[in-house]
């Protein structure tokens, strides 16, 4: 297993947000974590990537325990995330933003920068090509000189993924990547996910858009009230009674009433 989330508990004050969640992500698969709003999905992401410390439990990535490490340490292992609320570096150009992601692979010491070591120059030189490749892949190559803040919302989402890709993830956690995207953008996004999968990048998705989830997932984990209520292939999960009751069913009920 590439990622093991083992019995994670999270309390805020007296409120239990996560009550012993466990799941595993095998290398090369696309796993979606779904569940109604407030189920604890984003908290789970924050814990896996080091932005929050769990009350109890363990996260293992590629065999080593990463619980309690700082986010940039976890990123070094190849575990990269995006944010639910789109995050970019607003006043930098698209090219400069993506370049920052490359720092996950190489960070020169102050000494080697000041003495002009060849490896630094080589990294800077290669970065141009690498950034161009990544921008080509996400379809932002024509925008590389634009400031991030000048991009449309959908383009900013793609830029954030590009920044994450530059960090050379073994596993990419995408927090509601298709929210706010129009139909065309979200189908473009599904294509992107499949391409990433071909490149052996494992993907964990938190997603609301069921078209996306059903279309790209190998496995689905359903979270409700801080607990895992189901897990399995898209077909199995979509027919699971608990899931229909807790998640889909409830939405149908509210739809019917509202």
Partner 1 sequence: MAFSRNLDPRTGLFLRWPVLAAVLVALPFIGLTGYELHLLIVSAIFVILSSSLSLIMGYGGLLSLAHAAFFGIGAYTSALLFMNFKFSMWVGLPAAGIVSAIAAICVGSLFLKVRGHRFVITSLAFVEIMRLIAVNAVDLTRGQMGLPGIAAPVITIPGVGTIDFASKTAFYFLAVGGAAICVWTVARIVHSPIGWGLLALRENENLGESVGVSAFRHAMIAFVVGAFFAGIAGSLYAHYTGFVSPDLFFFSYTVTMLVMVVIGGKATILGPIVGAIAFTFLPEYLRVVAQYRLVLVGVVLLATVLAFPNGIVELWSRWLRPAFLRLRSRDHAA
**Binding residues for partner 1 (CB under 8 A):** 49, 51, 70-72, 75-76, 80-83, 87-92, 96, 99-108, 110, 113-114, 116, 120-121, 123-124, 160, 163-164, 166-167
Pick the closer one to partner 1 by CB: 102 or 243: 102
The answer to whether the beta carbons of residues 166 and 175 sit under 8 Å apart is no
Least distance (Å) from partner 1 to the CB of residue 159?
A: 10
Pick the closer one to partner 1 by CB: 69 or 230: 69
Least distance (Å) from partner 1 to the CB of residue 247?
A: 28
Burial of 123 (0-12, 13-18, 19+ CB in 10 A): middle
* Residue listed under structure tokens 């996950």: 104
Tell me the C-alpha to C-alpha distance, in Å, between residue 135 and each of 158, 166, 203, 249.
Answer: 9, 10, 19, 40
Least distance (Å) from partner 1 to the CB of residue 161?
A: 11
Pick the closer one to partner 1 by CB: 56 or 124: 124
* DSSP state letter for 249: H
**Rounded Cα distance, 227 and 241, in Å:** 16
Least distance (Å) from partner 1 to the CB of residue 107?
A: 6
* Residue listed under structure tokens 């890709």: 165
Least distance (Å) from partner 1 to the CB of residue 132?
A: 16
| Helix, strand, coil percentages, rounded to 5, for the chain | 45, 25, 30
Pick the closer one to partner 1 by CB: 73 or 245: 73
Residue 23: both structure tokens together: 């799941």
Pick the closer one to partner 1 by CB: 85 or 200: 85
Least distance (Å) from partner 1 to the CB of residue 71?
A: 4
Question: Of 170, 152, 138, which Cα lies nearest the Cα of 88?
Answer: 152
The answer to whether the beta carbons of residues 9 and 63 sit under 8 Å apart is no
């Amino acid at each position: 297993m590439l990622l093991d989330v083992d019995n994670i508990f999270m309390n805020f004050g007296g409120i239990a947000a996560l009550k012993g969640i466990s799941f595993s992500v095998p290398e090369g698969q696309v796993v979606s974590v779904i569940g109604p709003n407030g189920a604890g999905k984003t908290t789970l992401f924050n814990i896996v990537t080091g932005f929050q410390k769990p009350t109890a439990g363990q996260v293992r990535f590629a065999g080593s325990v990463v619980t309690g490490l700082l986010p940039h340490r976890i990123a070094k292992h190849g575990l990269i995330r995006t944010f639910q609320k789109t995050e970019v570096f607003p006043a930098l150009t698209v090219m400069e933003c993506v370049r920052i992601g490359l720092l996950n692979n190489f960070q020169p010491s102050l000494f080697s920068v000041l003495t002009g070591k060849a490896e630094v120059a080589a990294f800077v030189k290669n970065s141009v090509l690498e950034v161009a490749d990544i921008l080509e892949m996400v379809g932002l190559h024509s925008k590389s000189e634009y400031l991030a803040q000048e991009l449309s919302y959908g383009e900013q989402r793609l830029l954030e993924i590009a920044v994450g890709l530059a960090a050379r993830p073994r596993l990419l956690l995408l927090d509601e990547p298709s929210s706010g995207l129009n139909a065309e953008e979200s189908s473009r996004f599904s294509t992107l996910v499949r391409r990433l999968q071909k490149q052996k990048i494992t993907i964990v998705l938190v997603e609301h858009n069921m078209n996306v989830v059903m279309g790209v997932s190998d496995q689905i984990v359903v979270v409700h009230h801080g607990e895992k209520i189901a897990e399995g292939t898209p077909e199995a999960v979509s027919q699971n009674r608990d899931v229909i009751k807790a998640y889909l069913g409830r939405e149908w009920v509210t739809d019917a009433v509202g």
